[in-house]
Amino acid sequence: MRTVGVEEELLLVDPETGEPQALSAAVLARAVQDDAEQDVFETELHNQMLEFATHPQSGMDQLHAEIVRCRKEAARHAGEIGCTVAALATSPLPVSPSVSVGRRYRWMAEQYGIATQEQLVMGCHVHVSVESDEEGIAVIDRMQPWLYVLSALSANSPFWQGKDTCYSSYRSRVWHRWPSAGPTEPFGSAERYHRRVAAMVATGVILDEGMIYFDARLSRQYPTVEIRVADVCLHADTAVLVATLARGLVETAAREWRAGREPAEHSVSLLRLAAWRAARSGLTDELLHPATLRRMPAETVVRALLEHVGDALADSGDLDRAQDVCAGLLRHGNGARVQRELMERTGSLRDVVTECVRHTQA
C-alpha cells in the first residue's frame, strides 16, 4: 500500500488576543531540546509560522494519531514561551509579517518584494509514495483536474487583514502570486518534467528546484508525488480526509496509466479557472466538474470525486471513512464556514482565532 505523509503549517498566535506572534525560532529551539521532536518541526518563510511533517504512514488511523500528536506537541512547545498554535490558512487579524533569517529567505524578499511580505499563508502538503519518476509524472498528468476538489474541501482562509475576502480559500489566491505556482499541462514523461524544471531554474527567476511550486510536483527529497493545493485544515479529520483522497487519486491515476488510458487534455487556462472557482466557493456554491469543467453543485462534484477514487479507497479500506467525513463537511461546513459562523455569532475576529485554537487541538 502506498505510504502517505503530511506537512502542516501552523500560525503562532497569542492565546488571549489571537494576534500572530513572530516566535517561530524560539518555539523551534524548544522543540530541538526534545530529541524525539528535532526532525519533526521546522521554521518557515515567516516568523509567525511553524511547520511539522509526519512520518510516512500506510494506515490512516496512524496518520490521524500522528497529526493530532504533532499539533499538541506544537502547542506545548509554543505554550512554553507564551504563545499557541492555530490551524488557520491565513491570519484573520491584521498582521505585519516578518521574514525569517537566512540567505534563502533574504533572496526571496529581495527578488519578489511585497509578494514575499504577503505570503503569511499556511498550507497542507501531502506526499504519496510512487515507484518511480515515470509513475509520478503519469500520476500528476492524470489527476490534475481533480486536485481542486481537495482545495474546496480544505478551504480555511476566508479572512485577510481583518476583512472578509468573499473567498473560502484566499490563501490559494495569495500563493498563486509566486511565478512558478499553479496547475500544469501534461508533461508526458519524467524526462520532459525534469527538462522543464531545469529550464525554469535557468531563467534565474526562481532560486532553485525547491521553488517549483506546481500544484503537484515530484518531491526533491523523497520518492513521492507532493500535492500542494490544500489549506491547512482546521480539524485533523479534514487533513486526514485530504490525505486519503490524495492517495486515492494517485493510485487511481497510476492504474489508468498502467491500463494505457491517456490524461485528459485540459489546458492550464481552464485549470486555473477551476482552481479559482474552488477558492471562491469552497463547499458553499458550485465547482467546476473535473471531467467536463462545467459548473455543478459542490456536493455533486465531491460525490464525483468519491466515485472516481472509489475502487482505490475500497481496496485500502478507506472508502467508508472518506464518505462519512465528506458527508460531515457538506453538512456542517469546512474551516471557512466554521470561521464565518464564529464571526457571525461573536462579531469578533479575535474570538474567531481563539476558538480556532481550541478546534486545532481537539
pLDDT tens sequence for the chain (362 residues)? 999 999 999 999 999 999 999 999 999 998 888 765 557 898 899 999 999 999 999 999 999 999 999 999 999 999 999 999 999 999 999 999 999 988 999 999 999 999 999 999 999 999 999 999 999 999 999 999 999 999 999 999 999 999 999 999 999 999 999 999 999 999 999 999 999 999 999 999 999 999 999 999 999 999 999 999 999 999 999 999 999 999 999 999 999 999 999 999 889 999 999 999 999 999 999 999 999 999 999 999 999 999 999 999 999 999 999 999 999 999 999 999 999 999 999 999 999 999 999 999 88
| Burial track 28-65 (b if 16+ CB lie within 10 A, e otherwise) | bebbeeeeebeebbebbbbbbbbbbbbebbeebeebbe
Q: Does domain 4-348 have CATH number 3.60.20.10?
A: no
pLDDT on residue 37: 56
Q: Read off the amino acid at residue 218.
A: L
Task: State how far the Cα of 117 lies from the Cα of 72, in Å rounded to an integer.
Answer: 28
Closest CA to 347 of 4, 92, 22, 37: 92
CB-based contact 342:358 (threshold 8 Å): no
pLDDT on residue 33: 80
| Residues 6 or more apart in contact with residue 221 via CB below 8 angstroms | none
Q: Give the cell for residue 289.
A: 466538474
pLDDT on residue 202: 98
What does the domain layout of the chain look like in residue ranges? 4-348
Instruction: Quote the radius of gyration of the chain (alpha carbons, Å).
Output: 19
- With H, G, I as helix, E, B as strand and everything else as coil, classify residue 123: strand
pLDDT on residue 107: 95
Helix (H) or strand (E) holding 171: helix 170-175
